[in-house]
Amino acid sequence: MFKGNSVIARLSVAAAMAIIGTGFAADAKQGSILDLSSNGVSWVNANNRDMLPPASGPGPVTFDPRHPYVGSGRGQQATFRIADVTNPILKPWAAERMKKYNDEILLNGKSEYTARATCRPAGTPGVFSHVLMPQFFIQTEKQVWIIYGGNTEVRRVYLNVPHTKNPKPSWYGESVGHYEGDTLIVDTIAQDARTFVDNYRTPHTEQLHVVETYRLIEGGKTLEVNIQVDDPGAFNMPWSAVQRYARSNAGPLEEDPCAENNASWETPNNVGLNTPVADKPDF
């Protein structure tokens, strides 16, 4: 188990709300704030793909146009992700590191694995590139829990409070948030550099600052998240991305221990993203 994450075994969202309080419910029913958790709702990646570019301005790293990425289950031969290291957002050191990953795949015939495939906590905005497993929201007066079903990774968003002074970097950092009517705004700092920004293994530094704006569109059927990313240590400029989730009834939130079911990827044929191992308990 990683610090900042929790495992909730076979626990429905409704049951979890009963444990940590239901002060949110009245305002949600009145429609005065965004409600993402009613009736056990979960949210699944509507695009089954990586983050989407913004309508305008700098966007996230995507695939090298000379090596288009094709995911599995799309009626074509699946490919590995080859990052477009010419994206102008990248500092030279970040582009060079990513080029080395590309070369390991293209020139040396190795396989690439994403953070999820090696059981690494995603961090943000990396979690917005994860597919397959749903996201669950638990909302109370003082906190919002955002739970990614894969590995049951929990982010805690502390509402209506400032960031603490000099927070210790961690996998998901420190998130604070507030509601502005029908939107939820989440501000995250203090993520350590072990995570990647996306599935293309884009690195970042501990200066990473991410702001997410959540709102419902299409009559409440779709959750849209606008993501703003700034890291002067890794990127030449701030950039933005979008991700959309479809409303789902995925059933109860169940324990999904990734590392217990994962094969060993630390072999000569794979790019070296090892499964993290805790050397001491978190509690």
Task: Spell out the domain ranges in the chain.
Answer: 13-250
H helices present in the chain, as ranges? 13-20, 25-29, 92-106, 258-261
User: Which is more confidently placed, 204 or 122?
Assistant: 204
**How many CB atoms within 10 Å of residue 29?**
10
User: Which is more confidently placed, 45 or 64?
Assistant: 64
Tokens read off for 175: 């998130």
Average pLDDT over residues 158-180: 96
CA 2 centroid distance within chain: 15
Average pLDDT over residues 165-180: 96
Contact 63, 81 (CB under 8 A): yes
User: Which is more confidently placed, 221 or 149?
Assistant: 221
pLDDT exceeds 60 at position 157: yes
Write down the residue that tokens 């094709």 correspond to. Answer: 70
User: Which is more confidently placed, 136 or 71?
Assistant: 136
Residue 1 has a pLDDT of 33
88: left (phi over 0), alpha (psi -120 to 50) or beta: alpha
Residue 249 has a pLDDT of 77
**How many CB atoms within 10 Å of residue 267?**
10
Kindly indicate the confidence band of residue 105, based on its pLDDT and cuts at 50, 70 and 90.
confident
Tokens read off for 192: 């350590």
Residue 20 has a pLDDT of 45
pLDDT exceeds 70 at position 280: yes
Residues whose CB is less than 8 angstroms from the CB of residue 217 and which lie 6 or more positions away in sequence, other chains included: 223, 224, 244
Q: What percent of the chain has pLDDT over 90?
A: 51
Return the minimum-mean-pLDDT range out of 4-8, 139-143, 263-267. Answer: 4-8
Tokens read off for 77: 């031969």
Nearest to 43 by CA among 140, 123, 146, 124: 146
Angle at 36 between CA 117 and CA 154, to 5 degrees: 35
pLDDT exceeds 80 at position 32: no
pLDDT exceeds 60 at position 112: yes
Residue 255 has a pLDDT of 73
pLDDT exceeds 70 at position 50: yes
Please list the residues that pair with 211 across neighbouring strands.
Answer: 187, 228
Q: How far apart are CA 36 and CA 138, in angstroms?
A: 8
Write down the residue that tokens 């072999």 correspond to. Answer: 267
CA 125 centroid distance within chain: 5
Whole-number CA gyration radius for the chain: 19
End-to-end, the C-alpha distance of the chain in Å comes to 10
pLDDT exceeds 60 at position 261: no
User: Mean pLDDT score of the chain, rounded to an integer?
Assistant: 82
Contact 137, 33 (CB under 8 A): no
Residue 113 has a pLDDT of 65
